Amino acid sequence: MTINEIYEKLKEKIQIEHIRKNEMMKEHTSFKIGGPADIMILASTVEEIQHGLRVCKENNIPYYVIGNGSNLLVRDKGIRGVVIKIAENFSEVTISENHIKAQAGILLSVLAKKIMRESLEGFEFASGIPGTLGGAAAMNAGAYGGEMKDVVTGALVLDHCCNVIYLDREQLEFEYRNSVIQREGYVVLETDIALQKGDYERIKEITAELTVKRTTKQPLHLPSAGSTFKRPPGYFAGKLIEDAGLKGVRVGDAQVSELHSGFVVNVGNATAEDVIHLIKLIQKVVRDQFGVELHPEVRIVGEE
């Protein structure tokens, strides 16, 4: 099918203003890198997400579901097919006592502020994670001793047949930076979270402390996709990279951060190829020096 034919199919059940052709992915990733997607859907309802997925599946059109693009490196030629973005258009929240029900597109930082205003504790760790709730649930995101598995009690997802199903905490099968959602390619629609009532001032204080830690130890002033590598068992990726003498090393405008070696940052107009070459260089040097294999945490997608 041509792009125009796909577009015509999509607009049967999706608002025209929610469908874009040849959308530059660098505008939708925290790395500020990436070529054009043939079509992007800025989904606002479950029905729009379902219709987009069904059109793709029934016509063998490749598709990618993204959130805020905070853990994503899109190649320079862009993405062939359809990108379904579940973000600010799909971000409603309901809080009842200590239970939160939130749509997948809400940013964790926004959700954390809403939760703090209700004097609920236990979500402070997520306040600075730069992504959406859906993406965080899928990969069991975590920071500063907390993980999504600690607070999520269940999730509403779309399965392979675009059916809406509910998975409880046990069925979500959370692991380190993984879950059944990620393994099976399910699409998160909504997440249930359970917390405890706490002291507002103490919650605010903890959140502020974590914010200081992040801003002083992480290169938040430069575009990146967060931690570039998963934590290897028994080690810390950033320390291995620094000990290997790679802090500040550049390939084009992609650089190992001088503030935190676990981050690859875009210091100007880095291309995806710059980042990929730098990732491979880091992996080789760390493997040769320490015998440790580093696996990317950032997801690399797009046409090679």
Q: Specify the CATH number for the domain of residue 257.
A: 3.90.78.10
Helix residue ranges, H only, the chain: 3-10, 46-58, 108-117, 133-139, 169-172, 180-184, 200-217, 237-243, 272-290
Which tokens hold the place of 47? 């029905």
Average confidence (pLDDT) over 112-132: 95
Residues 193 and 272 in one domain: no
Residues 115 and 54 in one domain: no
- Type of residue numbered 96: S
Q: Active-site residue 227, yes or no?
A: yes
Residues 116 and 187 in one domain: yes
Residues 111 and 28 in one domain: no
Q: What is the mean pLDDT of the chain?
A: 96
Nearest Cα to 174, choosing from 195, 153, 143?
Answer: 153
Q: Exactly one of 70, 91, 227, 261 is catalytic; name it.
A: 227
Average confidence (pLDDT) over 230-251: 96
Q: Which of 85, 117, 134 is the last residue of a domain?
A: 85
Count of beta carbons in the 10 Å neighbourhood of residue 163: 9
Q: Exactly one of 44, 70, 177, 179 is catalytic; name it.
A: 177
Residues 81 and 97 in one domain: no
Q: Which of 85, 111, 144 is the last residue of a domain?
A: 85
φ/ψ of 210, rounded to 5, equals -65, -35
Residues 76 and 110 in one domain: no
pLDDT, position 167: 98
Q: What is the pTM of this model?
A: 0.93
pLDDT, position 1: 86
Q: Active-site residue 91, yes or no?
A: no
Give the domain CATH number at 11.
Answer: 3.30.43.10
Residues 80 and 100 in one domain: no
Residues 179 and 280 in one domain: no
Q: Coil, strand or helix: which one is 120?
A: strand
Residues 140 and 184 in one domain: yes
Which tokens hold the place of 56? 């793709």
Q: Active-site residue 297, yes or no?
A: yes
Domain count, the chain: 3
| Residues spanned by the domain of 288 | 219-301
Cα(257)–Cα(144) distance, rounded to whole angstroms?
Answer: 20
pLDDT, position 195: 98
Q: Which of 85, 109, 139 is the last residue of a domain?
A: 85
Q: Using one digit for the tens of pLDDT, what is the confidence trace for 160-210?
A: 999 999 999 999 999 988 999 999 999 999 999 999 999 999 999 999 999
Give the domain CATH number at 165.
Answer: 3.30.465.10
Nearest Cα to 179, choosing from 146, 138, 151?
Answer: 138
Cα(18)–Cα(33) distance, rounded to whole angstroms?
Answer: 22
Residues 156 and 181 in one domain: yes
State yes or no: pLDDT of 215 exceeds 90: no
In a domain, 209, yes or no: no
